[in-house]
Structure 1
Amino acid sequence: MAFDGCCPDCKLPGDDCPLVWGECSHCFHIHCIVKWLNSQQVNQLCPMCRQEWKFKE
């Protein structure tokens, strides 16, 4: 989804659908990356570059 919108799980963009960055510099809606990470069986990897996913602090 475009970042100025919201992810499919949200009705309205804004604070309830924030963007998060990984240490690999890729950016996702929080709900989208959490859903992706929860679907991974073993390693939690970035869906774009396949590096180990770590939230950027």
Structure 2
Amino acid sequence: MKVKILNWHAVASWTWDAQDEACGICRMAFDGCCPDCKFPGDDCPLVWGACNHSFHLHCILKWVNSQNSQTSQPHCPMCRREWQFKA
């Protein structure tokens, strides 16, 4: 007996490969997006620091810019190590 498939509708989902489930700055889930964005994905990517903490790109950029006026080197909001983007 042979079966012929007439229609097939594939469904896929994606998730970020991060240690945490939510951004440490805005507390929004990584499956969603930061408060400044409307849609998750390419417009609101995750970035990792050298300390392996991950944040929404927009959240960490705001954090780094706010820290520049107060200290010489910005720090990770989670562990307080000097902030550097992971290479």
TM-score bracket, shorter-length normalisation = over 0.9
Output the TM-score relative to the length of structure 1: 0.96
Q: Which amino acid aligns with 2:42?
A: D
State, as a whole percentage, how many aligned pairs show the same letter. 75
Give CA-to-partner distance per residue, 1:6-46, whole Å, 9 cap, x none: 00010110100000000000000000000011111213000
Gaps of 5+ in 2: 1-27
Q: Select the residue among 7, 32, 35 that pairs with 1:5.
A: 32
TM-score, with structure 2 as normaliser: 0.64
Structure 2 counterpart of 1:56 = 86
How many residues are matched? 57
Q: Could you say which structure has the larger radius of gyration?
A: 2
Runs of 4+ in 1 over 2 A off after TM superposition: none
CA distance in 2, matches of 1:52, 1:5: 27
Partner of 1:44: 74
- Root-mean-square deviation (CA, aligned residues, Å) is 0.6
Answer 1 or 2: higher relative contact order, Cα 8 Å, separation at least 6.
1
Cα distance in 1, alignment partners of residues 65 and 52 from structure 2 = 20
* Counterpart for residue 57 of structure 2: 30
